Amino acid sequence: MIDYIKIIKKAWAGFDSSREIGKIEDISARVSTNHVFRITFEDEDIVIAKLSYFGEYEHFKEDHRIIHALSNNLLYPFENLLAKSLLKNNRVYTYHYKKGKTDAWVVFYNPTRVLERMPRRLEEHHIRKFGQQIARFHKACSRISNVLPKSSKTLRSDIHLLLERVDKNEHTFGTRAQVDMLRYHCDLFLKNRLKTNAASFETIPVFIDWNIGNFSVTKKLELYSRWDYDWFRMSSRIMDFYFFSRVVSDAGDRTVFSYGINPMMEDRFILFLKEYHEINPLTANELRFLKEGYRFFILNYVIKDGAYFFNDQYAKKLKAEAYEIYLPSVERDFDAEVLIDALRIPEKKKK
């Protein structure tokens, strides 16, 4: 058992030992292995602490430094959108706790301002506005991507890391048939990445895990605040789109969730894409890569890191569904040409 409170206190002591903590409350969503705490000081000031042992500390530190640079450089109307990390000596403060088998890290945030939440199931006007807002946000991220710190993670490197883990401990990934399926889909991802020329796609900050519970909007449905950076990375904007399809899906936001591919073929998602495309045009190859973005999500976040990120109950459920439902559905249930036709994207003629 990890003594979270002890680690939080040590982390804060390393930040500012002169301020006395009054109480620490666990406000975690209880879905993931990450833990979020509200710290109230003796003078009643409040900060938020996030404790994680998912992934690697160096990646955690790197991501938060990129996010800080992003939040600091975003211009109106997104200049206050992202939750701010606390700084020490003008750098994002992160604390690494390592003792025995416990390896965890902590970052502190200013409390996030929250306005309106979108409904669990969006109406047409919500979908249209959401598409427009996300298109503008992606454009804003694109404008400043060249001034952000470099990231060491790539889609290709994460898939190769998964294959290395499979080679090292094959039995931990399931039966022989499941391992064969896993290798097949990793190989297909790498081949289709080349086929769609994904290396030419612009690299911008993406948060991937967009859901109703981690952003708020104004009464005019404009993006107001965004928090929860568990799956942040520098990558193609397309990596965000599977979760956009879930936000606008007919099923809506659910307490018990799964990761089927079907929301990306719904008319509601096509409506979202049309609104997005009007402001921030998509290419045919980017839409073809949607399938690979989904495949990567299942391979990397559900199978490779699911046991580290999701709590045990969800990790086992989602991993089983990955082999039984998600991976078999990729080639069968998604057709990018339907989306390309709906957006009337002309094909470039080959010379």
> What's the token pair of residue 229?
């950076």
Which pLDDT belongs to residue 351? 44
Which pLDDT belongs to residue 166? 95
Give the position of tokens 């030419």: 200
Residue 350 falls in which region: left (phi positive, over 0), alpha (psi -120 to 50) or beta:
beta
Separation of alpha carbons 2 and 4, rounded Å = 6
Which pLDDT belongs to residue 255? 57
Separation of alpha carbons 23 and 224, rounded Å = 29
CB atoms within 10 A of CB 67: 22
Residue 23: φ, ψ to 5°: -155, 155
SS3 state at 108? strand
Alpha helices in the chain (DSSP H): 4-16, 57-73, 124-144, 155-168, 176-195, 241-248, 267-279, 284-296, 306-309, 312-321, 327-333, 336-342
Separation of alpha carbons 205 and 141, rounded Å = 6
300 in Cβ contact with 154 (< 8 Å): no
77 in Cβ contact with 56 (< 8 Å): no
Separation of alpha carbons 291 and 296, rounded Å = 9
Which pLDDT belongs to residue 30? 62
- 10-residue mean pLDDT series, the chain (351 residues): 89 94 86 81 93 84 93 94 93 92 91 92 97 98 94 93 94 93 97 96 95 93 92 95 96 78 97 98 97 97 84 86 96 96 80 44
> What's the token pair of residue 200?
């030419």
247 in Cβ contact with 128 (< 8 Å): no
User: What would the DSSP string read from start to end of 2-54?
Assistant: --HHHHHHHHHHHHHTTSPEEEEEE---SSBS-EEEEEEETT--EEEEEEE-S
ω into residue 77 within 30 of 0, thus cis? Answer: yes
Which pLDDT belongs to residue 32? 61
> What pLDDT, in 10s, does the model give residues 133-145?
999 999 999 999 9
Using alpha carbons, list the distances in angstroms from residue 48 to 84, 105, 200, 228, 333.
10, 14, 38, 12, 41
Give the position of tokens 């992160």: 94
> What's the token pair of residue 255?
């307490």
